[in-house]
Amino acid sequence: MQVTVAGQQVSVEAGMSLADIFKQALSGKQFKNLVVARCGEALLDLTTPVPAGCETLEPVFADSPEGLEVIRHSTAHLMAEAVKKLFPTAKVTIGPSVENGFYYDFDYERPFTPEDLEAIEAEMVRSVGADKPFARAELTSAEARAKFAAEGETYKVELIDDLGVEQVSTYTQGGFTDLCRGPHVPRTGLLKAFKLTTVAGAYWRGDEKNPMLQRIYGTAWATPKDLKVYLDRLEEAKKRDHRKLGTALDLFSFHEDVGGGMVLWHPKGALVRAILEDFERKEHLKRGYQFVQGPLILRRELWEKSGHYDNYRENMYFTEIDEQAYGIKPMNCLSHMLIYKSRLRSYRDLPQRYFELGVVHRHEKSGVLHGLLRVRSFTQDDAHLICRPDQLRDEIIGVVKFVRDIMDIFGFDFEAEISTRPEKSIGSDEDWDRATDALKDALDHMQMPYAINAGDGAFYGPKIDIKIKDALERRWQCATVQCDFTLPERFDLSYIGEDGNKHRPVMLHRVILGSIERFMGVLIEHFAGAFPVWLAPVQARILTVTDAQNGHAEKVLRFLQEKGIRAEADVRNEKLGYKVREAQLERIPYMLVIGDKEVEADSVNVRVRGGADIGLVPLDEAARIVREAAIEPFKRGGMSYSFS
């Protein structure tokens, strides 16, 4: 029999394994890097023979995405083997590969300690040294069930029962056998680059009503070098952690006495926020949005009408005064709808685009709070677009373009996902289809690729979620566009059409940055605290060499401030090196050094954040340099707007 293997014709004899076959087609180096084989869609163990009907085999190498997944999955088995050896009473559950690594959940009488992890990892290394084969076996579900039941592996029994199939497969390496579809690497010796990272609790099957299992996370890569790169990236991420930088750069703080998830913005952090917010206001005006503003608390009856009281109550804060109950808003849409309803609207008035930097409060579960990225009180750059059905597509396109423009300015890559109708939802199929198509149309029109997140939409309509990637390729959900059929219905929104009759408008909820708090957190990490000049709370700091120049420094400071530059002067009795070091640590973009020479020439010596030295520059030229660097993003789009 002839088979095409990696583009070459290979003659295959009966009983040959895929490994034997690839040996003929690949170089020794390539063969060492071979993990599994692919035939069409199927990934195959190298230990198996050529399946019937397979005419073409492709190699899957260790460093390919699929190869890495196999390696990670196999490493999870390797870890389970080690855990069962060291802790025989632990019950195994599931152990999949995940991004960058894998985990395995165990049911054990106590949590694993960091020392346990070390022991487990050492045992894994021993197993790799022994280079044991991964052996696949096919058996009937009844046989497998009996086998795992005899071993007391109750979770595996449950899995087999739930699968409801005749035949299952298992993989065995060393003394450990796991229920698994495969495929796996042929031998443990191929697993050379892994590290156990952390232990955590996790619910069986992700359901909080189920028992808490012990989850061990690990990372695994094709080579030790790749592993090191990954671990270095984690180190880098730790240095950039916005919670650390927030303290170091004096941007914000949290206080026990205030409460969890409530941010206190210090002068510099509040300034960056204000710059961001101003920037957003301008960008919204450019795009035909109108500013609106509603109160923080609204009567409870209104939340009952909107459905929030029934569906969202546990996340809301309430207050009462004069025997009247109020809900503290977790969303801004109600005020916006009431503004729309405040008068009769013509089809000519649509779309109405209401924008508000709305402060919302959501009582998030205590365990989910996380720095600025998950808080209980935050500001959304929220807008509600109320439009005619025939305008929906263009409005969505406008929002997606807006998102793209903004993310480009900050240098974020992003990914789009469309979430479709969930099981529990309201509205007609027709409405859902039309809205979902409008979302897809908009992304197609923009030539933006997207993933479908089936059944993950809000109960009132489908949505586009935009996840941005920071400098370390971590993804954060910020922007979202959601279609809503419910609220216009519940609040009886209408417009008078060309035909003189009342019609129901469609409403879009959307945010661009998401929440100012979260976006600030992502920005801090993205830039490692070194904000671009236009956002930097201090754009230039004057550093005097000795206090003989302090008088001159005051004059220079006033000059820069008059030019609209956020400048300050460091006239402390410290050495220049010390002042430079501090300015550097504070990530100030421009350091303007003034000594006797500079006083004499009415100039400054410009040092750029990062160390570059521009040298002696006349004062007005220095101001020009800083201002030039500070205006960049506002020029984009070439549109004019009026905003003072």
Q: What long-range pairs does 629-636 form, CB within 8 A, spacing at least 24?
A: 629/533, 629/534, 629/589, 629/590, 630/533, 630/534, 630/539, 630/565, 631/534, 632/532, 632/533, 632/534, 633/279, 633/409, 633/532, 633/534, 634/279, 634/282, 634/534, 636/405, 636/408, 636/409
Q: How far is Cα 297 from Cα 326, in angstroms, rounded to an integer?
A: 6
Backbone angles phi, psi at 507, to 5 degrees: -120, 135
**How many other CB atoms sit within 10 Å of the CB of residue 581?**
12
CB of 64 to RNA, least distance (A): 25
Selecting among 215, 361, 384, 393, the annotated active-site residue is 384
In the complex, minimum distance from the CB of residue 635 to RNA, in angstroms, rounded to a whole number: 27
Give the separation between CA 59 and CA 542, rounded to whole angstroms. Answer: 61
Indicate the residue among 471 and 576 with the shorter CB distance to RNA. 576
The H or E element that residue 561 is part of is helix 550-562
User: Phi and psi of 169, rounded to 5°?
Assistant: -120, 155
How many of the other CB atoms lie within 10 Å of CB of 97?
18
Taking the complex as a whole, the smallest distance from the CB of residue 446 to RNA amounts, in Å, to: 20
Contact residues for 25 (Cβ-Cβ < 8 A; gap 6+): 5, 6, 8, 10, 59
Strand-pair category, 352-361 with 290-291: parallel
Distance CA 620, CA 533 (A): 18
The distance of closest approach from Cβ of residue 563 to RNA in the complex, given in angstroms and rounded to an integer, is: 21
Nearest distance in Å: CB 255, RNA: 8
The sign of the dihedral angle between the CA atoms of 203, 204, 209, 211 is negative
**Is the previous residue joined to 389 through a cis bond, with omega within 30 degrees of 0?**
no
CB of 78 to RNA, least distance (A): 20
Give the closest residue to 294 by CA, choosing from 384, 403, 387, 385.
384
- Report residue 572 as tokens: 């402390």
Nearer to RNA, 393 or 587 (CB): 587
In order, the DSSP letters of 253-289 are E--TTT-TT--EE-HHHHHHHHHHHHHHHHHHHHTT-
* Location of structure tokens 């935050």: 378
User: Max CA-CA distance within the chain?
Assistant: 93
Among the listed residues 509, 566, 579, 587, the single catalytic one is 509
Measured from the CB atom, the residue of 26 and 83 that comes closer to RNA is 83
84 or 552: CB nearest RNA: 552
Residue 509 appears among annotated catalytic residues: yes
- Supply the minimum distance, in Å, between the C-beta of residue 394 and RNA: 23
The answer to whether the beta carbons of residues 48 and 18 sit under 8 Å apart is: yes
> Is the CB of 46 or the CB of 245 nearer to RNA?
245
CB of 162 to RNA, least distance (A): 17
Active-site hit among 91, 434, 463, 579: 463
Under 8 Å between Cβ of 3 and 21: yes
Residue from 352, 380, 482, 549 carrying the catalytic annotation: 380
Q: How far is CA 40 from CA 34, 37, 44, 57, in A?
A: 17, 10, 10, 8
Say if residues 26 and 7 touch (Cβ distance below 8 Å).
no
- The verdict on whether 526 is a catalytic residue reads no
Catalytic-residue membership of 561: no
Catalytic choice (382, 431, 465, 470): 382
Q: How far is the CB of 257 from RNA (least distance, A)?
A: 8
The C-alpha torsion from 321 through 354 and 333 to 327, rounded to 10°, is -10
User: Smallest distance, Å, CB 59 to RNA?
Assistant: 32
For RNA, give the closer residue by CB, 129 or 260.
260
Q: Which is nearer to RNA, 45 or 381 (CB)?
A: 381
CB within 8 Å of 463: residues ≥ 6 apart: 418, 419, 439, 457, 480, 481, 482, 483
From CA 644, how far away is CA 630, in angstroms rounded? 18
Q: Which is nearer to RNA, 256 or 429 (CB)?
A: 256
The single residue listed with the structure tokens 């303290």 is 247
Catalytic residue among 156, 308, 362, 510: 362
Distance, in Å, from the CA atom of 305 to the CA atom of 491, rounded to the nearest integer, reads 8
Task: Specify the residue, 92 or 588, whose C-beta has the smaller distance to RNA.
Answer: 588
Q: Is 238 considered catalytic here?
A: no
Q: How far is the CB of 307 from RNA (least distance, A)?
A: 15
73 flagged as catalytic: no
Count Cβ atoms within 10 A of the Cβ of residue 100 and give its class: 0-12 exposed, 13-18 middle, 19 or more buried. middle
Q: Where along the sequence are the contacts to RNA (CB under 7 A)?
A: 111, 198, 200-203, 206-208, 212, 215, 243-244, 247-248, 254, 256, 259-261, 362, 364-371, 373-376, 378, 380, 465, 477-478, 480, 511, 514-515, 517-518, 545-548, 573-578, 580-581, 584-585, 591, 593-598, 605, 607, 611, 613
Catalytic choice (54, 180, 333, 478): 333
- Lookup: tokens for 236: 């880098």
Q: Which is nearer to RNA, 31 or 203 (CB)?
A: 203
493-518: string of b/e by CB count within 10 Å (b at 16+)? bbbeeeeeeebebbbbbbbbbbbbbb
Active site (catalytic) residues? 333, 362, 380, 382, 384, 463, 509
